[in-house]
Structure 1
């Protein structure tokens, strides 16, 4: 790793405290513990970054990915954990991906929609979390179906049911948990996208900070830190990208 100096610490934490943006809207990345404290892969990574930078750490929590991105872009947090997307990339410098997450579609058990290919048709209404990676991706990809945005990704299934929509789109694990909890729902086979989950820092923090963060996450991915965190938090259905030694 590149040596840490005061200039790098200042770039990461101009307030003197390293503020990590944590998104509770994606249970693959973080969840709330029994006392409301953040737990998960992103929390472990943030803690390790603070240790290496020798800075005190503070968690800034959000209930949706879009809000988490906006917090980092606005300077309310110093870095975060985001799906790589060209829209977000206007203000955020992304690292290499450290985990791959699948996005799936959920429908009612009796729905005529049987495959992912059936979704993009006129008259089909798809619920997504506002500003989520799925929202950004499907906004570009769906040509005929209508996108209906809910407040946050965890609320997607509630929006889908309340508004009598045809499809809910989101994190496979979240949709699977909702299907098992509520009954009468089913996931369509396969994924409609694979999210490349990365870390990100505002481009305004400078190229050196962005490069150091990318070096950190590449080392954490290649060296087994990320895989160990996935195992520790019992996260299923995700994979770690293969990286050159």
Structure 2
């Protein structure tokens, strides 16, 4: 009797697992309407994605997209971009099905975001002889800040900077603002801490400020399609992100790709 009960419980566990791995048809239709999951990969943020051997995408966003496609039972196709602003433009033109971007009010009009899965810092880099010691020192008349056009920190600083001048670089990858900062002899470079730290490590004439002006909440998202609610897909994607955080998947993916970032806390219920 005990053996029979154990067998029944095992069968129920397998069935439950199979159901969890086989989402409803409307979920698959919402997330991968073409039968293939097109995942936007932003190489402009080295915390989320990196180019491996032969330019093959790797990193936490790649791992998440691959696992989601596996659960949906569809192949995955990576749609590469060199900057977050270009990912956002791709959403509006229907180039991808899921993406990995920072949550921003401007973007939320076009993208349905999940809760964040990773939180990273936006901060400043200056030259060693700069008088600026704290992030609050930067917003002064005459100060010129280099940013990447359409990045999360560009959108944030556009809302919050009152006196300094923001100069935006329109082309290039995630380090393009550093090149502009150096080449045009600007006062400050704004960016993701990990990228600024990596540059400063190889350029001792630079230093990264210890504080941050923004905590950048990185989330998964679906483009909003006019006339389509796609609630089933959005609900599934939100639950997927929460499971990936709670199970340690996100933390492990960051570790595998050699990145250090804070896994976001569980979403508020």
TM-score bracket relative to the smaller structure: over 0.9
Could you tell me how far apart the structure 1 residues matched to 2:204 and 2:53 are?
26
Shift of 1:74: 2.0
User: What secondary structure does 2:146 align onto?
Assistant: strand
1:198 aligns with 2:228: no
Partner of 2:263: 240
| RMSD over aligned Cα atoms | 1.6
Choose the corresponding residue for 2:100, options 78, 81, 88: 81
| Larger radius of gyration between Structure 1 and Structure 2 | 2
Provide Cα deviations, 1:50-94, integer angstroms capped at 9, x if missing partner: 000000110000000111122123211111001001000001000
1:122 aligns with 2:141: yes
Partner of 1:46: 65
1:60-209 aligned within 5 A: 60-150=79-169, 151=171, 152-204=173-225, 206-209=230-233
Could you tell me how far apart the structure 2 residues matched to 1:73 and 1:200 are?
13
Normalising by structure 2, report the TM-score: 0.87
**Which range moved further: 102-111 or 199-208?**
199-208
Shift of 1:202: 1.2
Provide Cα deviations, 1:134-157, integer angstroms capped at 9, x if missing partner: 000000010001000013432111
Segments of 5+ residues of structure 2 without an aligned counterpart are 1-19
Could you tell me how far apart the structure 2 residues matched to 1:114 and 1:93 are?
38
Partner of 1:6: 25
- C-alpha contact (below 8 Å) 1:18/1:50 kept by paired residues: yes
1:55 aligns with 2:80: no
User: What secondary structure does 1:78 align onto?
Assistant: coil
Shift of 1:2: 8.9
Segments of 5+ residues of structure 1 without an aligned counterpart are none
Could you tell me how far apart the structure 2 residues matched to 1:49 and 1:95 are?
14
Aligned residues: 244
- C-alpha contact (below 8 Å) 1:130/1:153 kept by paired residues: no
User: What secondary structure does 2:47 align onto?
Assistant: coil
